């Protein structure tokens, strides 16, 4: 899920400040001297009224979903269901309930626990894929080793790990990154648990973990490293001394360890399993993947043994606080939507470009959300992405070589309705896209370029097979525009790109192509 965020560089001056304080300070800076409100000012995130919050609480998850999230017109069929953060829980579900979820393109996800064998069996028998997902952070799984002397930093006399400063997730006594004994224990736990499911006749289709602990590059872990006697012996000196070198080293270690000790064992038991973990992505020098809260460039890497990636597409307040330039950008709805569109598209797009080169069989299941207050727990002054722009964004993500989505539809205090809206938006767009299911299965992404952080051009995406294509085009300017494409070599086409977007089906013919707008 990721109410988590690896840190800013120490030089930013933000490192030792509580994230909430940072958010407040930056927000004030952005909103001073704005003058009178302009007609086109973006709305900030809409709070849920207490009456509505009470109504949702009284209705509960099932009644709310069944009454407020319409079933799709298109069948899910053999496509991957989406999974949801705020979902129906872990208890075994009756077949009709599972079908009601599949009718909305979603399914129940389970935690990796043999207590859930019956729930998994119910899903399988009702025709759903079986997908596990759960979150965890801290010094686990290093701490699974039988003795902390095997993994825990060996600090200099008098040093305590709190001296490294508070991290976004709190603090913990960090692990020596090269001491892998606990990871081997985790690997055996995964083997044992998945074997129990297999022996019960359950095929696990997806293991989409949300394990974000050590050695994810949290600043407090960098702060601890140089005070550890063992790490000073084991690690290259630049990793101890240079923040950027440390960040890249930890990012790679995080990806590699989960590949070796999570993806590897999972594939031993279920060779065809779709296995990924929080923010596992490909990055390269030619298609560098930028982080989801700022312009940090992730180091080149190809995740080992994973069969799926997990780019992160979050409309988040950290992105706003760090990257919005009030003196350069126009503060209106259209430009705020452009700002978030850039952020949400770029991770999925770069990962797709890199998968095509380095892992063409690797699938992708991004985490997505329109509204994610990472820092402030909901700050009314941070403008959000409009729901219309978010739905537009989801359409383009689907047309960029992904296989499914994980919906971070968290239930935030004060914004209790938002989890429902996230479902409504994602289900409605999946329904639209499933009308082109043969291209989802066999098509190739036609465009992975990402509009700039402020960009009045045409945003377009498409999937193409040998003789069919689907293209979505929208003008990000105030006026409609035109998109000139060569859909196949020697087959040009002109498409209107209205400000509200349009979808086109294109069929190849002997003389060129035939275009039909999808209504």
Q: Footprint of Zn ion on this chain (CB under 5 A)?
A: 153, 176, 228, 230-231
In whole angstroms, the minimum distance from the beta carbon of 145 to Zn ion comes to: 13
> Which phi and psi (to 5°) does residue 398 adopt?
-60, -30
Q: Tell me whether residue 162 or residue 517 sits nearer to Zn ion (CB atom).
A: 162
Q: Tell me whether residue 158 or residue 360 sits nearer to Zn ion (CB atom).
A: 158
Tell me the two tokens of residue 98.
């599972």
**251 and 243 Cβ atoms separated by less than 8 Å:** no
In whole angstroms, the minimum distance from the beta carbon of 227 to Zn ion comes to: 9
Half-sphere exposure of 78 (CA within 13 A, CB side): 3
In whole angstroms, the minimum distance from the beta carbon of 237 to Zn ion comes to: 14
Q: Tell me whether residue 231 or residue 407 sits nearer to Zn ion (CB atom).
A: 231
In whole angstroms, the minimum distance from the beta carbon of 221 to Zn ion comes to: 10
CA separation for the pair 83, 105 (Å, rounded): 9
In whole angstroms, the minimum distance from the beta carbon of 32 to Zn ion comes to: 44
Q: What is the enclosing helix (H) or strand (E) of 269?
A: helix 264-269
Closest to 333 measured CA to CA, from 395, 393, 390, 384: 384
In whole angstroms, the minimum distance from the beta carbon of 176 to Zn ion comes to: 3
Number of Cβ within 10 Å of residue 288's Cβ equals 15
Q: Tell me whether residue 230 or residue 437 sits nearer to Zn ion (CB atom).
A: 230
Q: Tell me whether residue 133 or residue 176 sits nearer to Zn ion (CB atom).
A: 176
**96 and 88 Cβ atoms separated by less than 8 Å:** no
Q: Tell me whether residue 228 or residue 385 sits nearer to Zn ion (CB atom).
A: 228
CA separation for the pair 375, 217 (Å, rounded): 17
Q: Tell me whether residue 257 or residue 497 sits nearer to Zn ion (CB atom).
A: 257
Q: Which residue has the tokens 């030792």?
A: 16
Closest to 168 measured CA to CA, from 130, 103, 217: 217
Q: What is the enclosing helix (H) or strand (E) of 51?
A: helix 50-68
**153 and 224 Cβ atoms separated by less than 8 Å:** yes
In whole angstroms, the minimum distance from the beta carbon of 166 to Zn ion comes to: 20
In whole angstroms, the minimum distance from the beta carbon of 6 to Zn ion comes to: 19
In whole angstroms, the minimum distance from the beta carbon of 135 to Zn ion comes to: 25
In whole angstroms, the minimum distance from the beta carbon of 155 to Zn ion comes to: 8
Beta bridge partners of 50: none
Classify 459 as helix, strand or coil: strand
CA separation for the pair 387, 423 (Å, rounded): 12
**409 and 86 Cβ atoms separated by less than 8 Å:** yes
Number of Cβ within 10 Å of residue 40's Cβ equals 13
Q: Tell me whether residue 225 or residue 273 sits nearer to Zn ion (CB atom).
A: 225
Q: Tell me whether residue 230 or residue 508 sits nearer to Zn ion (CB atom).
A: 230
For the chain, counts of helices (H) and of strands (E): 15, 17
Q: Tell me whether residue 184 or residue 356 sits nearer to Zn ion (CB atom).
A: 184
- DSSP letter, residue 367: E
């Amino acid at each position: 899920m990721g109410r988590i965020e690896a840190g800013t560089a120490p030089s930013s001056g933000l490192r030792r400040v509580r994230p909430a304080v940072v958010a407040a300070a930056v927000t004030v800076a952005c909103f001073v001297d704005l003058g009178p409100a302009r007609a086109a000012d973006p709305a900030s995130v809409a709070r849920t009224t207490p009456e509505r919050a009470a109504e949702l609480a009284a209705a509960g998850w099932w009644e709310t979903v069944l009454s407020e999230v319409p079933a799709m017109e298109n069948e899910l069929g053999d496509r991957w269901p989406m999974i949801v953060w705020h979902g129906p829980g872990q208890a075994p579900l009756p077949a009709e309930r599972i079908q009601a979820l599949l009718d909305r393109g979603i399914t129940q996800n389970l935690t990796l626990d043999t207590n859930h064998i019956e729930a998994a069996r119910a899903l399988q028998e009702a025709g759903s894929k079986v997908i596990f997902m759960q979150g965890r952070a801290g010094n686990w799984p290093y701490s699974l080793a039988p003795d902390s002397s095997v993994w825990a930093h060996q600090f200099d006399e008098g040093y305590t790990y709190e001296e490294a400063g508070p991290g976004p997730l709190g603090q913990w006594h960090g692990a020596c990154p090269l001491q892998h004994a606990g990871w081997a224990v985790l690997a055996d736990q995964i083997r044992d648990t998945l074997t129990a499911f297999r022996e019960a006749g359950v095929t696990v289709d997806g293991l989409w973990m949300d394990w974000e602990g050590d050695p994810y590059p949290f600043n407090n872990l960098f702060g601890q490293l140089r005070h550890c006697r063992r790490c000073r012996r084991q690690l290259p000196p630049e990793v101890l001394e240079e923040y950027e070198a440390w960040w890249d080293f930890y990012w790679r270690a995080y990806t590699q360890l989960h590949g070796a000790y999570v993806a590897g064992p999972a594939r031993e038991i279920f060779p065809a399993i779709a296995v990924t973990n929080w923010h596992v992505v490909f990055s390269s020098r030619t298609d560098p993947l930028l982080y989801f809260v700022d312009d940090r460039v992730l180091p080149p890497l190809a995740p080992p043994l994973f069969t799926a990636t997990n780019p992160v597409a979050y409309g988040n307040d950290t992105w706003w606080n760090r990257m919005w330039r009030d003196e350069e950008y126009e503060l209106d709805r259209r430009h705020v939507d452009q700002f978030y569109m850039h952020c949400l598209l770029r991770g999925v797009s770069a990962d797709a470009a890199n998968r095509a080169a380095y892992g063409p069989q690797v699938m992708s299941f991004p985490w997505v959300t329109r509204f994610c207050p990472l820092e402030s727990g909901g700050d009314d002054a941070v403008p959000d992405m409009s729901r219309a722009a978010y739905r537009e964004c989801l359409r383009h993500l689907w047309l960029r070589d992904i296989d499914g989505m994980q919906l971070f539809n968290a239930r935030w205090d004060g914004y209790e309705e938002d989890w429902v809206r996230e479902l409504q938006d994602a289900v409605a767009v999946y329904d639209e896209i499933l009308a082109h299911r043969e291209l989802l299965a066999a098509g190739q992404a036609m465009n992975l370029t990402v509009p700039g952080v402020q960009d009045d051009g045409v945003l377009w995406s498409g999937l193409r097979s040998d003789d069919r294509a689907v293209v979505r085009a929208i003008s990000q300017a105030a006026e409609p525009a035109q998109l000139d494409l060569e859909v196949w070599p020697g087959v040009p086409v002109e498409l209107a790109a209205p400000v509200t977007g349009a979808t086109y089906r294109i069929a190849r013919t002997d003389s060129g192509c035939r275009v039909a707008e999808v209504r």
